[in-house]
Amino acid sequence: MTSSIKAKQLKTAFFSALLVLAVAYPILGLKLNIVGIKLEVHGASAPVLWTIFACAIGMFFWQLFRSQLGNAWDAVPKVPGVPSSATNFLTLPSTQRWFVLALVVVALVWPFFGSRGAVDIATLILIYVMLGLGLNIVVGLAGLLDLGYVGFYAVGAYSYALLSHYYGFGFWLCLPIAGLMAALFGFLLGFPVLRLRGDYLAIVTLGFGEIIRILLRNLTELTGGPNGISNIDKPTLFGLSFERKAAEGLQTFHEYFGIAYNSIYKVIFLYLVALLLVLVALFVINRLLRMPIGRAWEALREDEIACRALGMNPTVIKLSAFTLGACFAGFAGSFFAARQGLITPESFTFLESATILAIVVLGGLGSQLGVILAAIVMILLPELMRNFSEYRMLLFGALMVFMMIWRPQGFLPMQRPHLELKQ
Amino acid sequence: MPDIYHFLQQLVNGLTIGSTYALIAIGYTMVYGIIGMINFAHGEVYMIGSYIAFLVIAGLTMMGLDSLPIILIAAFAATIIVASAYGYSIERVAYRPLRGSNRLIPLISAIGMSIFLQNEVLLAQNSKDKAIPNLIPGNFVFGESTMNGVVISYMQVLIFVVTFLVMAGLTVFISRSRLGRACRACAEDIKMANLLGINTNNIIALTFVIGATLAAVAAVLLGMQYGVINPNLGFLAGIKAFTAAVLGGIGSIPGAMLGGLVLGVAEAFGADIFGDQYKDVVAFSLLVLVLLFRPTGILGRPEVEKV
């Protein structure tokens, strides 16, 4: 190895180490503390400082010996990976359909044996599955990046909450209304914006999500402002309430069947309602995918210019995907309001949008099984890692970057229906 | 004529904030102009910059230094260095491996990066608001009195002077220097620039560093103007600046400057008419209106899609 290459490597290594120090030391190594009314700067604890220092040294040596290490790594015999036939099998639409079916059967049976807390978390997961499936239409199938999906979720939630609060409408009546309201908002927002290129859409929808939240927070007379709306009615089973004491004109579930009151009935019922909504969403989306409109979504995602050339109207196709996605968010929102009993504008921040987007992306754009699995992972992991809860979002961000670099197609992408010419 | 005074006062306030939006917006517009992606983490670079500025100001005050020029120069220097390091590292870690993939993918990576950086600062510095006293108190008064006249604080004057100098410097750099020419060549046609012997990887990194530098300048200025920072301020500043970039026509540097000023003024008047809490709503509504009637922005060129 010539000395000039060596010198260049040394320079790069030194520069990289300095970069690590410049990035890590000021933010992690120094701390702004409020002392009285003044701000003071203190160093972080010794282990933190040593870690930063060690990282810089590590970076230096890694950059210095990178090519040698790379050669050594290539020489190591590789562990055989997952055979391609297995991946092929797992990503086939027919396999995934069976997987979904199996999941549904499991989901139907287990709540009767699960604990109350577990069923509750499962209900939350189902809400995110629903949101993920809805966003999957917009992002995964039609290829439109929507960063304000939570806005439609909020519209759905507040539609039910307000109708129930002011007019006493029940859940089952409000569910379609909430979906329609969210779809209407999607239509009104999408109409002007969808004629534009994709990046603008991302930012306009982001702005829309924020506008909705700001309006909900500030229209205090109507929406209760930052305190939100509380005491939202739970869904009923054909008029049977699951509370201990029924409201006037209603009968309770345990009285009607003559069994003792148990609060777990309510939890399981909510879970089953959520499951029903998810199944309806799955069914509708699966049917739509086989219709011309579903095919048009995917075609548009792949090549907009070719679609135009074939005489399709991109605006109408995009608008249908956008509106339908918003509609599912509305359903999920009204169920969320019913389950929580209390909604505030702070439930609908950009972070929610990012979480839903992460579910769609991690699952594999366009794949419904992927969305379901990703929703389970994304909601269950933080619940299991309660000890790490403060590092949760940090890991979440890092995971999003890492996934995009390592496996941009997601955990379980779905194969497109295609034919191959065997030679 | 109190109405005129009121109008002028709002105009001055709007232009002050707008000029800092413009600084951040240039970072978005330059990156978009070259690699066609929204650098979603740019707002977080701005947020980190304001933390560095506060660290320097608080640290130097603690050491008993009270010479204003030294504090200012140190704050600008340190903030620019650290923010550039962040700009460069973000490009290296989160965007460079994804070059040439589907447009959605770098954007999602950028969102992840943004969440990561926000939480890094949140964990290291906790979520409390941090405040510093106004370093440059005092103001010029035009008119009869502070109540009946236009008040321009020294801080606002500093913001105008610094942003003007920085933008003038950037314009000269882009139009006259070799590297600036290389930047323009990359924005025109990155493949061709590569064929002609320009190291496009370095130019892209340089764009990120320039963007981070300008965001750092804005961070010092706005940090001193508002006097309060927290780890969440990058998000809103980021989308505001992006709005400014789109307003002016994304990809165009003079457009970003103009867009920032327009947005700042619109926000000031909007807040005056509808109330302060609807400031952001005004900004986003303006964005939707501009996209409706002039999708290429004020100074943008219509883009021709090539097959």
Convert the pLDDT of each residue in A197-208 to its tens digit.
667 788 788 888
Which residues 289-348 on chain A approach chain B with CB closer than 8 angstroms? 305
What does the pLDDT average to over A220-230?
79
- Evaluate whether residue A81 is within a structural domain: no
Backbone Cα Rg of chain A: 26
User: What is the overall mean pLDDT for chain B?
Assistant: 86
| Whether the Cβ atoms of residue A181 and residue A155 lie closer than 8 Å to each other | yes
- Tell which wins on pLDDT, B177 or A390: B177
Residue A200 and residue B246: Cβ atoms within 8 Å? Answer: yes
Q: Name which of A26, A32, A396 is nearest B130 (Cβ-Cβ).
A: A32
Distance of CA A102 to the CA centre of its chain: 23
Best mutation target, A400, A403, A406, to test chain B (most B CBs within 10 A): A400
Q: How much is the pLDDT for A245? A: 66
Asked whether residue A67 carries a pLDDT value surpassing 80, the answer given is no
Q: Do A15 and A123 belong together in one domain?
A: no
Question: How many structural domains is chain A composed of?
Answer: 2
Structure tokens at A181: 């309201």
Q: Do A11 and A122 belong together in one domain?
A: no
A150 pLDDT band, cuts 50/70/90, is very high
Q: How much is the pLDDT for B170? A: 92
Q: Do A65 and A92 belong together in one domain?
A: no
- Evaluate whether residue A412 is within a structural domain: no
Asked whether residue A243 carries a pLDDT value surpassing 80, the answer given is no
Q: How much is the pLDDT for A102? A: 82
- Evaluate whether residue A411 is within a structural domain: no
What DSSP designation does A330 have?
Answer: H
- pLDDT > 90 fraction of chain B, expressed in percent and rounded: 33
Which segment of A238-242, B105-109, B232-236, B298-302 scores lowest on mean pLDDT?
A238-242
Q: Which residue of A has its CA nearest to B305?
A: A305
What does the pLDDT average to over A227-236?
77
Q: Is B5 on the interface with A (CB under 8 A)?
A: no
Q: How much is the pLDDT for A414? A: 67
Best mutation target, A45, A193, A206, to test chain B (most B CBs within 10 A): A206
Helix (H) or strand (E) holding B139: strand B139-143
B73 pLDDT band, cuts 50/70/90, is very high
User: What is the overall mean pLDDT for chain A?
Assistant: 81
A135 pLDDT band, cuts 50/70/90, is very high
Residue A170 backbone class (left: φ over 0; alpha: ψ -120 to 50; beta: rest)? beta
H helices present in A136-263, as ranges = 149-167, 171-193, 198-218, 220-223, 253-256
Best mutation target, B71, B104, B228, to test chain A (most A CBs within 10 A): B104
Structure tokens at B17: 């904030």
- Tell which wins on pLDDT, B65 or B303: B65
- Evaluate whether residue A263 is within a structural domain: yes
Asked whether residue A59 carries a pLDDT value surpassing 70, the answer given is yes
B167: Cβ–Cβ under 8 A, 6 or more apart, which residues? B22, B23, B26, B257
Q: How much is the pLDDT for B44? A: 93
Q: In chain B, which residues have their Cβ closer than 8 Å to the Cβ of A357?
A: 108, 111
Number of CB pairs < 8 Å for A and B? 176
Q: Do A285 and A353 belong together in one domain?
A: yes
Rounded CA-CA distance A180/B112 in Å is 32
| Whether the Cβ atoms of residue B221 and residue B108 lie closer than 8 Å to each other | no
Report the gap between the CA of B226 and the closest CA in chain A (Å).
15
Residue type, A226: P
Report the gap between the CA of A390 and the closest CA in chain B (Å).
8
Q: Do A117 and A9 belong together in one domain?
A: no
Rounded CA-CA distance B219/A25 in Å is 19
Q: In chain B, which residues have their Cβ closer than 8 Å to the Cβ of A361?
A: 108
Cβ density class B28-41: b for 16+ within 10 Å, e for less:
bbbbbbbbbbbbbb
Cα first-last separation, chain B? 59
Among A403, A58, A45, A27, residue whose Cα is nearest residue B117: A27
A254 pLDDT band, cuts 50/70/90, is low
Q: Which domain holds residue A24?
A: 2-69
A 10 A CB-CB count for A5 gives 10
The model's pLDDT over A301-338, given as tens digits with 9 standing for 90+, comes to 888 888 889 888 888 898 999 999 999 999 999 999 98
- Which contacts of A44-50 are long-range, i.e. CB under 8 A and separated by 24 or more positions? A44/B124
- pLDDT > 70 fraction of chain B, expressed in percent and rounded: 96
Rounded CA-CA distance B228/B51 in Å is 10
B286: Cβ–Cβ under 8 A, 6 or more apart, which residues? B243, B247, B263, B266, B270
Q: How much is the pLDDT for B261? A: 92
Q: How much is the pLDDT for A77? A: 66
Q: Do A215 and A319 belong together in one domain?
A: yes
Q: Is A210 on the interface with B (CB under 8 A)?
A: yes
Structure tokens at B285: 């509504």
Asked whether residue A180 carries a pLDDT value surpassing 90, the answer given is yes
Residue A398 and residue B116: Cβ atoms within 8 Å? Answer: yes
Cβ density class A87-109: b for 16+ within 10 Å, e for less:
eeebbeeeebeebbeeeeeebee
- Evaluate whether residue A79 is within a structural domain: no
Q: Is the ipTM of this complex over 0.90?
A: no
Q: Residues, chain A, total?
A: 423
Q: Do A286 and A366 belong together in one domain?
A: yes
Q: In chain A, which residues have their Cβ closer than 8 Å to the Cβ of B32?
A: 199
What does the pLDDT average to over A372-400?
80
- Evaluate whether residue A421 is within a structural domain: no
Q: Do A44 and A107 belong together in one domain?
A: no
Q: In chain A, which residues have their Cβ closer than 8 Å to the Cβ of B284?
A: 204, 207-208, 210-211
Q: Is A408 on the interface with B (CB under 8 A)?
A: yes
Among B199, B269, B297, residue whose Cα is nearest residue B6: B269
Q: Do A161 and A210 belong together in one domain?
A: yes
Q: Do A260 and A157 belong together in one domain?
A: yes
Q: Do A56 and A93 belong together in one domain?
A: no
Q: Do A10 and A138 belong together in one domain?
A: no
- Evaluate whether residue A385 is within a structural domain: yes
- Evaluate whether residue A418 is within a structural domain: no
Rounded CA-CA distance B129/B111 in Å is 24
Rounded CA-CA distance A210/A337 in Å is 19
Q: How much is the pLDDT for B172? A: 92
B186: Cβ–Cβ under 8 A, 6 or more apart, which residues? B34, B193, B198, B200, B203, B204, B207
CATH number assigned to the domain comprising residue A311 = 1.10.3470
Rounded CA-CA distance A406/A413 in Å is 14
Q: Name which of A39, A200, A399 is nearest B291 (Cβ-Cβ).
A: A200
Distance of CA A136 to the CA centre of its chain: 10
Q: Residues, chain B, total?
A: 307
| Whether the Cβ atoms of residue B278 and residue B233 lie closer than 8 Å to each other | no
Strand-strand pairing, A240-241 and A251-252: parallel
